[in-house]
Amino acid sequence: MTSLHDNASELAQLRNGDEAAFARLVRAHHRALLALARPIVGESEAAEVVQIAWIKAHAALKDFEGRSALRTWLSRIVINEARMMLRQRKREVFLEDMQAEAPGPLVDRFRSDGHWSVPPVNWHADSPDSLLTREELADCLAALLDSLPSNQRALLELRDSDGMPFDEVCNMLGVSASNARVLLHRARSRLFALVDHFEETGEC
Amino acid sequence: MLKCRDVPAEAEALLDGELSLGRRVALRFHLFMCGNCRRYLGQLRLLLGAVPQMHGQASDEEVDQVLKRLHDHSH
Ligand SMILES: [Zn+2]
């Protein structure tokens, strides 16, 4: 299972240039890195950006100091490659308007006095792993992630999937902290509402 | 007084490490009184913990393709 906690012996193997360990690294993170590149450079260029990032990461791994999670480190390389690609093509960042739109999907779940009218149901999962063991729910979540506006996707990928600190996310994407907060809140609320609905009805 | 309606935004600020001491105290006090919001925060934490894994693992073909390009590049 992928997580933001790196295993020490796996790290040592990676630094020593162990190819099997590198293949495991690619397997664990490749799809998430594609999902990060897509909202920034677009679908057609994302694979190339991530490929170049893997080549650079492979060369730089021996110097990886472990000050951040591997996933966070990899995502920085992907973002840098994505920006370089955009510069070469003289293109702007692909992100949809960074302005926040109307309020998120949880607003209609509160009464006018501010209390919950439709409180969250009790989810069956008791760990992040067990949440995703139900294949149908995992598919629904993956589809929702793909359907989010690109600005929300980029923020959610960097902050929640790749574990980048909030300030760095704002810098990387050139978005104000207040806009980032609103957009992240929208994305997270939609994920929450989807799981909550699934837990209640068994479908999404 | 913090209302339930305010809790989702405050809960995220808490998990992002963005909450000042005063707001943290206000949130804790509300959570102490309110089971619905305790449940909300617990499940939000669970959900965000699962996001890094939501994309799943790459297929053999995808891994092979990355390794092949890497190999071509280094020769
Ligand atoms: Zn409450």
A111 and A185 housed in the same domain: yes
| Residue in A188, A194, A196 to test binding to B, most B beta-carbons within 10 Å | A188
Q: What's the CA gap between A155 and A111, in Å, rounded?
A: 30
Q: Output the CA A187–ligand 1 centroid distance in Å.
A: 21
A3 falls within a domain: no
Range of the domain at A165: 107-201
Question: What is the CB neighbour count within 10 angstroms for residue A67?
Answer: 7
A73 and A115 housed in the same domain: no
Q: What's the CA gap between A179 and A55, in Å, rounded?
A: 34
* Number of domains forming the structure of chain A: 2
CA distance B25 to chain A (A): 19
Phi, psi angle pair for A52, to nearest 5°: -65, -40
CATH number of the domain to which A43 belongs: 1.10.1740.10
Phi, psi angle pair for A127, to nearest 5°: -150, 160
A66 and A127 housed in the same domain: no
The tens digit of pLDDT for each residue in A174-197 reads 889 988 998 999 999 999 999 999
Q: What's the CA gap between A176 and A184, in Å, rounded?
A: 12
Percent of chain A at pLDDT > 90 equals 73
A76 and A144 housed in the same domain: no
A57 and chain B: CB distance < 8 Å anywhere? no
3-state helix, strand, coil in chain B (%, to 5): 75, 0, 25
User: B41 contacts in A (CB within 8 Å)?
Assistant: none
> Which residue ranges make up each domain of chain B?
4-73
| Residue in B12, B51, B61 to test binding to A, most A beta-carbons within 10 Å | B51
Decide if B53 and A128 are in contact by the 8 Å CB cutoff.
yes
The pLDDT, as a whole number, for residue A95 is 67
A98 falls within a domain: no
A118 and A61 housed in the same domain: no
A19 falls within a domain: yes
Would the pLDDT of A59 be above 60? yes
Domain end among A88, A119, A149: A88
Q: What's the CA gap between A132 and A127, in Å, rounded?
A: 9
CATH number of the domain to which A171 belongs: 1.10.10.10
Q: Output the CA B7–ligand 1 centroid distance in Å.
A: 7
User: B52 contacts in A (CB within 8 Å)?
Assistant: 2-4, 32, 71, 160-163
Decide if B73 and A145 are in contact by the 8 Å CB cutoff.
no
The tens digit of pLDDT for each residue in A33-52 reads 999 999 999 988 999 999 99
A191 and A115 housed in the same domain: yes
Report the predicted TM-score, pTM, of the whole model to 2 decimal places.
Answer: 0.90
- Non-local (6+) Cβ contacts of A158 within 8 A are A36, A75, A79, A164, A169, A172, A173
DSSP A147-190: HS-HHHHHHHIIIIIS---HHHHHHHHT--HHHHHHHHHHHHHH
Question: What is the CB neighbour count within 10 angstroms for residue B39?
Answer: 17
A101 falls within a domain: no
pLDDT tens for chain B, residues 1 to 75? 899 999 999 999 999 988 999 999 999 999 999 999 999 999 999 999 999 999 999 999 999 999 999 999 877
User: B18 contacts in A (CB within 8 Å)?
Assistant: 166, 181
A97 falls within a domain: no
A135 falls within a domain: yes
What is the average per-residue pLDDT within A145-162?
Answer: 93
Domain end among A38, A61, A88: A88
Enter the ipTM. 0.92
Of A31, A55, A191, the CB nearest to B70: A55
A193 and A144 housed in the same domain: yes
Question: Cα B44–A36–A125 angle (5° rounding)?
Answer: 25
Q: What's the CA gap between A59 and A53, in Å, rounded?
A: 10
Q: Output the CA B4–ligand 1 centroid distance in Å.
A: 4
The pLDDT, as a whole number, for residue A108 is 87
